[in-house]
Structure 1
């Protein structure tokens, strides 16, 4: 039974990774597509390739997911796998719900919420202090940093190019967006694919199929990278329209600044803090920041408010779905 559960968990984890890819593809390419810096087809290929590359750059975020959210020590193998399985169901369900409504919610927080909800329903201990340090604080601070930094950098760009030809400047920033979109996609792979690696590693450790001292196996890294890359290539057009057109009307300069600032925030959290932050929160707040430099009314705050509601609901909603699924599974799996 345990072997079958591990296989199901790995398959579901890769399925979550795929939904993460098409759900969050907009994070990397919406601004470039909306400003016509890249065609949709080229943008998706670029994002898929860079997501794959980013997924292989490190494992620090994966280890945080595997070891710093729920304490599975002392539980039976079947109970541990049930918690991981239910967490994935909660995360996938919330990803699909928000994708359907075109809301750019966080796959990161959906997975963390799923782990917390399933862990509590399964009688496991939750590392609340680690969640506050590694999840809650970055969840609050990253959008604020993204908004503030994007606003400040955009003010600087406007001042530097205040006397430049608008047409020539626009063409240059369209070219520059190829680089910034690639950097954003690399950061997305670095952050989001690692979460799937962490969940698979958690299942393998529970079943005794992996050595905690040996780190995450290469096949886990490659499969997670491939799944998020394939999902990214499938696209996420509903959410792309929200990020690219409904928050503000982007121009190439603002698109470049939003992507560049977001990529830096993602890299800093992955390499320095080892914190699983949301690419969705980061890019959305950066888009609002560059939009606010035009005028505050340029940001469609009603749309932003709907997105904020989805952000707030993500962790508790995914946790509730995962908890319900845990209560259903426990009697079945004994």
Structure 2
């Protein structure tokens, strides 16, 4: 078996492993609130989330196109670059999962792709305008928007429903939260599964020397893989997002999920690969602060935000180091 084909197969397999890990790493964020408010049991919630993740992943390819074509020069991408990027993103995902930190799988993958490409072909191989417009700026604006919108949605609900008895409100929103958590899972699939689709499509175009295209088999395979990953659960991160950061009620869970899902829907529509993790965690912060700022657990939030800040630079240099080693090893021993 020739080395090029072996590398290609390895990229597809490892990309699907990343997609699976993304499922249990990030989907835990999507269903954490519905579990923490005891609307659904953890096992029912992950099954529900898995089904909607699969459906969401089938709804478009704009984000996949951004990842596969918009961030780096396709001519600079080699099999070694893609392999180093995927391994780097998986390492960071597993490390943050082990620590129970809801870092961004999206930024880990994009940072790794940019790092490996830059180490292989120089900084000029990166599309800095697209990186700035579709990665860097949304990395800051989407969490800020989620916090502000979550805050005002919660304030609005308090204002509209303050005359209704709390037990009645909880009964209503326990049911409504099933819909809002499903909406968030659907938009999570639409946004996150497409990032792996973009990497595999880029690998196919690199190996076969064809135009970039997200084929149906790539879409279906990535959708099913993320669904299986969701079924595996992400219990450590679920506990962090759903209870350690701020205690929330069913009405607050509904507000956070509706806010996060709407932002993910809009960004996926415009092909912007934002972080589900950043979006839902800051939605929860905004909702929690509408009750009182002291409801937020600042040490936990500080740890989470440190993981956000570190993800892009760490994954960039980690993938660059992996590429350098891999390139040397293949040249030395192939």
Give the shorter-chain TM-score range.
over 0.9
Within 5 Å, give how 1:201-220 maps onto structure 2. 201-208=201-208, 210-212=210-212, 215-220=213-218
Partner of residue 4, structure 1: 6
Aligned counterparts of 2:80 and 2:72: Cα–Cα separation in 1:
13
1:135 Cα shift? 0.4
* 1:201–1:210 contact (8 Å) kept in structure 2: no
Name segments (4+ residues, structure 1) moved above 2 Å. 209-212
The correspondence for 1:22, drawn from 24, 38, 44, is 24
By how many angstroms is 1:209 displaced? 6.3
SS in structure 1 of the partner of residue 291 of structure 2: coil
* Counterpart among 35, 39, 61 of residue 63 in structure 2: 61
- The number of residue pairs the alignment matches comes to 327
The structure 1 residue matched to 2:107, chosen from 106, 109, 112, is: 109
Conserved 8 A contact 1:109-1:315: yes
Map 1:129-148; keep pairs closer than 5 Å: 129-148=129-148
Q: How does 1:244-259 map to 2 (within 5 A)?
A: 244-259=242-257
Tell me the equivalent position of 1:301: 298
1:14-39 CA-partner distances (Å, limit 9, x unpaired): 00001100111222110000001111
CA-atom RMSD, angstroms?
A: 1.0
1:161 aligns with 2:164: no
Q: CA–CA distance in 2 between the matches of 1:106 and 1:200?
A: 19
Aligned residue number for residue 291 of structure 1: 288
User: Given the two structures, how large is their TM-score scaled by the length of structure 1?
Assistant: 0.96
Question: Do the aligned residues in 2 keep the contact of 1:14 with 1:196 (CA within 8 Å)?
Answer: yes
- CA drift of 1:211 comes to 4.0
Distance 2:274 2:169 in 1: 33
Residue 117 of structure 1 and its aligned partner are, at CA, apart by: 1.0
Report the Cα distance in structure 2 between the residues aligned to 1:240 and 1:72, rounded to whole angstroms.
Answer: 36
For structure 1, the residue ranges without an aligned partner over 5 or more in a row are none
For the pair 1:185 / 2:185, whether they are aligned, the reply is: yes
Structure-2 separation of matches of 1:72 and 1:154: 44
**1:210 CA drift (Å):** 4.9
Q: Return the match for 2:119 from 121, 135, 151.
A: 121
Q: 1:46 aligns with which of 45, 48, 69?
A: 48
CA contact (8 A) 1:21 1:230 kept: yes
Quote the Cα distance in structure 1 between the aligned partners of 2:205 and 2:330.
19
Quote the residue 2:309 is aligned against: 312
Q: CA contact under 8 A between 1:89 and 1:321: conserved in structure 2?
A: no
Q: Is the 8 A contact 1:44 1:233 kept in 2?
A: yes
Aligned-partner Cα distance in 2 for 1:27–1:171:
23
